[in-house]
Amino acid sequence: MNAPSYDAVVIGSGFGGAGAAHVLTGAGLRTLLLERGGWPRRDDQDWDQQAILIDKRYQSDSPLLVRQYGSSTFVPLHLNETVGGMSVFYGGASLRLREGDFARWPIKYSDLEPYYTRAEQLLGVHGQAGADPFEPPRSAAYPLAPVALTPPAQRIQQAARSLGYRPFPIPLALNFSDPARPRCILCNTCDGFPCKLKAKNDLTATLLQEAQVQGLEIRAGAIVTRLVRQGVRITGVEGVDKFTKQPFSFLARLFVLAGGAIHSPALLLRSGLGGPTVGRFLMRHCNGVVAGIFPFATNPAQIFHKQLCLADFYEDHRAAHGTATGIIQDIYTPASPVIRHFAPTGFKRIAGMVAGHIQNLLCIAEDEPLPENQVSLSAQRDVFGMELVQVQHRYTEADCARRDYLTAKARHVLRRAGAFLFKTYRLDSFSHAVGSVRFGTSPAESALDPNCRLWETENLFVTDSSFMPSSGGVNPSLTIAANALRVGEYLTQTYENI
């Protein structure tokens, strides 16, 4: 039996895959999107902290094997997977990189700016143009205005302003205003959770939904095992259905890989594709969470307050390190049982007791692209017969210096807001992973050309976060979406010649 054939096959439904699929389908190309996760369930458990944060109901069947923070052993780490990718779990932060962040890129900020604007429109971002002290040039205002600050966010705003800083509303892709859809009710289960109301403007509610109306076919639970190459062209994909365990294969003229900075290089390696940089130069930001303990309940109403950002320090290390420093964001505090679960042995009881008196600030610092920070394949195999993915990562002293610089500023803000004790946590996740299949100007230094085509092929393009040659100091989601729209437009213009 001949395999079904499409104009384009997109692998992965996160910002990179959804952005490309939206453009391709809108141009009339018969497009299939393959996603290894299932659909978000949108039920009460999606707002249950035990189910999401501890039991991890969306975790992958295939763990990563991760070695980080100087460990000598690989430890299993299960990522979430679902249609819509990490957009289903993120808190909607939608910030642009700044002009200086493009120093190592083969394109300039001005090349991406129109697509940033388009991405903000498609994602329904609420923001305030001109409020960010280091905001790059814009061709249009945000499509929607931010909502009023809730009391916990007001506390941080007042403290930061009293220190001479310029806090501004985080641009958020949440539905605060469209009456035609469920609107955000300002609950405290947003960042890290699927929205059971579908009020988060994740990709299932925006780009993917619009693309489906235009004919996009989405196949969930599709584990892609290999890309099939003939000469300089990719001719098909092979895989297995996660639910039925039945094999599948599809043919196409054009292929877009968007499995993320972990799974995209792994698939290329399994397929024998890519040059020596594939899997290398992995970045994830050097993040830290500063928890301040207050003498009063910080959020008795359990209301949403991921609303404020501080970018005053963004350029403080540019001259010395050639990088951004990063930003500070207000984030929510998990419930007492979750804090108790993740607290170190010996501190679980007291951590649970003080949970209601904690307010956190997230510090996002740029990290350097190191060749030894890489994705590779293990000899161990998963339940689908594929080699497990290994991830090795370490930070440089400069990475940690930027993070520590931000955490010191965050403690200062929390202290001014009323906190009297502090605890800083490092993050083990790879939710901001970028850079493992980076683009550039030559095959010697990059895996992709400036249009994100794999150098050694004619018809394979990579549009997820792995294309980024530097991480900058903000959440990469909007940048991934903007670049996917840019590459998608290029593909529709050149499709007949691919």
Q: What pLDDT score was predicted for residue 348?
A: 78
Q: What is the mean pLDDT of the chain?
A: 96
Phi and psi (nearest 5°) for 380?
Answer: -75, 150
Give 26's DSSP letter.
H
Q: Name 311's Cβ contacts closer than 8 Å, sequence gap at least 6.
A: 132, 133, 134, 166, 168, 327
pLDDT tens per residue, range 137-196: 999 999 999 999 999 999 999 999 999 999 999 999 999 999 999 999 999 999 999 999
pLDDT band for 1, please (50, 70, 90 cuts): low
Amino acid at the residue 8: A
What is the β-pairing status of strands 460-462 and 247-257? parallel
Give 50's DSSP letter.
I
pLDDT tens per residue, range 446-480: 999 999 999 999 999 999 999 999 999 999 999 99
Q: Where are the domains of the chain?
A: 5-497
Taking a C-beta distance cutoff of 8 angstroms, is the pair 8, 22 a contact? no
Q: Which residues of 412-447 are buried (b: 16+ CB within 10 A; e: fewer)?
A: ebbebbebeeebbeebeebbbbbbbbbbbeebebbb
Q: What pLDDT score was predicted for residue 231?
A: 96
Q: What is the C-alpha to C-alpha distance for residues 35 and 287, in angstroms, rounded to an integer? A: 28
pLDDT tens per residue, range 343-352: 777 767 887 8
CATH number for the domain whose boundaries are 5-497: 3.50.50.60
Q: In this structure, how many other beta carbons lie within 10 angstroms of the beta carbon of residue 1? A: 4
Residue whose C-alpha is closest to residue 281's, from 50, 438, 54: 438
pLDDT tens per residue, range 78-136: 999 999 999 999 999 999 999 999 999 999 999 999 999 999 999 999 999 999 999 99
Secondary structure percentages of the chain, helix, strand, coil, to 5 = 30, 25, 50
Residue whose C-alpha is closest to residue 460's, from 236, 209, 133: 236
Q: What percent of the chain has pLDDT over 70?
A: 100
**First vs last C-alpha separation in the chain:** 26
What is the β-pairing status of strands 421-426 and 233-241? unpaired
pLDDT tens per residue, range 324-370: 999 999 999 888 888 888 777 776 788 788 999 999 999 999 999 99
Q: Name 55's Cβ contacts closer than 8 Å, sequence gap at least 6.
A: none
Residue whose C-alpha is closest to residue 329's, from 302, 307, 299, 298: 307
pTM to 2 decimal places: 0.97
Residue whose C-alpha is closest to residue 286's, from 172, 169, 425: 425
pLDDT tens per residue, range 76-94: 999 999 999 999 999 999 9
Q: What is the C-alpha to C-alpha distance for residues 88 and 80, in angstroms, rounded to an integer? A: 10
Q: What is the C-alpha to C-alpha distance for residues 26 and 6, in angstroms, rounded to an integer? A: 15
pLDDT over 80 at 53, yes or no: yes
192: left (phi over 0), alpha (psi -120 to 50) or beta: left
Only one residue has tokens 């605060």, namely 176
Taking a C-beta distance cutoff of 8 angstroms, is the pair 467, 446 a contact? no
